Chain A
Amino acid sequence: MRSFLRSREALVGMLFVALLVVTGLFNPNFFKPESIVEIFNASLTLVLITLGEMFVILTRGIDVSVGAVAGLAAVVLGTTLNLGWPLGLAVAAALATGMLAGAVNAVGITLLRVPPIIMTLGTLGIYRGLMRVITGGSWIENLPQNIKEPNLWNLLGIPFFVWVGLALLALTMVLTLRVRVARYFYAVGDNEDGAYLLGLPVRWTQFAAYTLAGLFAAFAAVVFTSQIGFVSMNAADGFELKAIAANVLGGVSLTGGVGTPLGAAIGALFLTAVHSMLIFLGVPGIWDNAFAGAILLAVVYVDYRVRTALELQQRQARIRGDLSGGEPS
């Protein structure tokens, strides 16, 4: 129980619920199930990109190209659809594009040893540029109707894509908490040299992390293309930074090896919900960024203070234990 209270998931989760309640008190309309479902639906893109980014951050890396990867995958999806490809094939092409883009990052980082931030900053420019080169800079519109349909399906009043998101979240939860190979992400991020000496495939683990980040970005691309029905050239612009912010907010530490998919998803939900809540509170949308940034700073600062206070307490307890000759607690 204490470890639950101390966890970042709990902190941000409670903050999230508190904010929901406050918003609801000011504007009862907010408590309608539709608004809650709408928040989930709207945050789906960011949740998916954030989950992919999580694998990279767990290995102590960083990927600032995920937004561009999502954009590129969306362009591939739109272009192939307009060429008359069947839906399944086009989606597969988009997912493959995402994985390939992620694998390119992985090759640069694991094989060429380019620092992750430099590599992915470089590919951020490359993928964004490629997007426009492929389309000639214009939006992809007039997509066939079949891509927009899945967005309308729903089960128990909850949209199909929200179910997909929940399924992917559950899958990553099981993976990261129960599957041995997926624990390698944590091991490599916590102590790369140690993992290497234990005989873990460090480079392959990093490779997998960046490829997964690309794949999840492509999932996100499929979702938002279906939701909005066209591909703009600014698609998923700036999502890389939001995904990092969401991870940090959800307790996935940039120093590697710490964090859970649930935390990351809550972080992403929070960042998106801020937008809806501010609107319900009557604050103009332009304050979104200021608010999100301030919350991020506040959370990492509070987390730092709590962490250092706890460490100090433990150290003092140990000193007292030593002086009285008793067992250190």
Chain B
Amino acid sequence: MNLFRFLRSWEFFLVVLLVVEIAVLGLINPVFFNAENLLYATLDFTHILFAALPLTLVIITAGIDISGVSIMGLASITLGLAWVAGINIFVALAIALLVGILAGAFNGFFVAKTDVNPLVITLGTLFMFAGLAQGMPALLDKLGFKAYGSAGLAAYQYEGITGLPDEFIALTEGTVGIVPYPLIAVLAFTVLLSLLLHKTRFGRSLYLIGVNPKAAEYSGVPIRKILVWAYVLSGFGAALAGTMLTSYFTSARADLGGDALLPIITAVVLGGADILGGSGTVWGTLLAGLILGFLRQGLLALGVTSDLIQVVVGALLIGAMATKQLVHVFGEYRLNRKALFRRNGR
């Protein structure tokens, strides 16, 4: 990409926005100029990024996956149950991620095999996965397996499955220099997804499906297969988010991530992906996620309540979209005027 195009891109605007935001927050509260604090603060919202990054791919295909928030809880509780059953914690982690992949494949299967709106399908699985996550411990307990961990039912209901081993907790506590592990994982995930999106046939097909599914089909793009993989990635990302939260909160819970739906979709849309499909980048999503996350941290540090922050985030989402739409309408208008003017001039 040449420099001029980059300077005009949405991603560049987001970079500027991020820098301005940190500068403003830093001027109000110098804590924000401390790089270590800033990086450590990302731990509070890396789960949003893990889920939002692959969701970008789904939205590029003009789809949507709202079941991710339930997959988070499902992955978390799977990890906890597997660990209670005596399985090594890292094997349990792998099982939890596999559950995320399977859940994504389940979504993808229904989306690819039917013409039913992906919103409906993932709405159904949103309920289903959440229900499974809530029901599984109770079922296993009834079958005589001590699913609630050593502390029993009351403690489980209050704080989930706790007592996870230190080496698992260290996954989110550890740092390389001053950069926490999860942030490194997010960056690696972004690079991988970006390569996938821009350097492979798979990635380009995602855009084509989003712009014009008929054209994609007639040019021999294996639409169904590609859609399934997009949803698998989304499920995997949500499972990553769920297990990361489990490590961060040091407990496995069925309802983890329940309130993350709004910020996740906000990050993707603010990142420049068109909800109607055909455009978007993972770098945009990453930047938008960072902007939203730091905004939240900054407002909290300023003493703004989290309720009011919700209002701000909602307004930001609408404001960004409205601005984009108006800029688009104005741009069209200008182009039309120009074309008309040129014709009349000659």
Contacts and interface: CB of A to CB of B under 8 A. Distances in A.
Main secondary structure of the interface of A (DSSP, over half): helix
Contact of B321 (A114, A241, A255): A114
- Most A-side CB within 10 Å, residue of B115, B117, B135, B307: B307
B247 to A, nearest CB: 25
A300 B121 contact: yes
A125 B126 contact: no
Contact of A293 (B127, B310, B317, B326): B127
Interface string B99-133: 00000000000100011110111011111111110
Contact of A255 (B117, B131, B308): B117
A291 B307 contact: no
Interface in A250-291: 254-255, 284, 286-291
Contacts of A244: 119-120, 123
A201 interface: no
B172 interface: no
B195 interface: no
Interface stretch (A35-43, A88-96, A130-138): A130-138
Chain A interface residue number, banded: 35 or more
Contacts of A296: 120, 123-124, 127
Contacts of A288: 131
Contact of B309 (A129, A131, A241, A284): A129
A297 B115 CA distance: 13
B262 interface: yes
A286 B131 contact: yes
A289 B131 contact: yes
A125 B319 CA distance: 13
Contact of A121 (B131, B266, B309): B266
Which 9 pairs across A and B sit closest by C-beta, in order of nearness? A290-B131, A293-B128, A293-B127, A125-B314, A289-B131, A129-B310, A129-B311, A132-B307, A126-B314
Interface of A: 62, 108, 112-115, 117-119, 121-126, 128-133, 137, 241, 244-245, 248, 254-255, 284, 286-294, 296-297, 300-301, 304
Given A244-B119, A293-B127, 12 more contacts: A122-B266, A122-B316, A125-B262, A125-B311, A132-B305, A241-B126, A254-B117, A290-B130, A291-B131, A296-B120, A300-B116, A300-B121
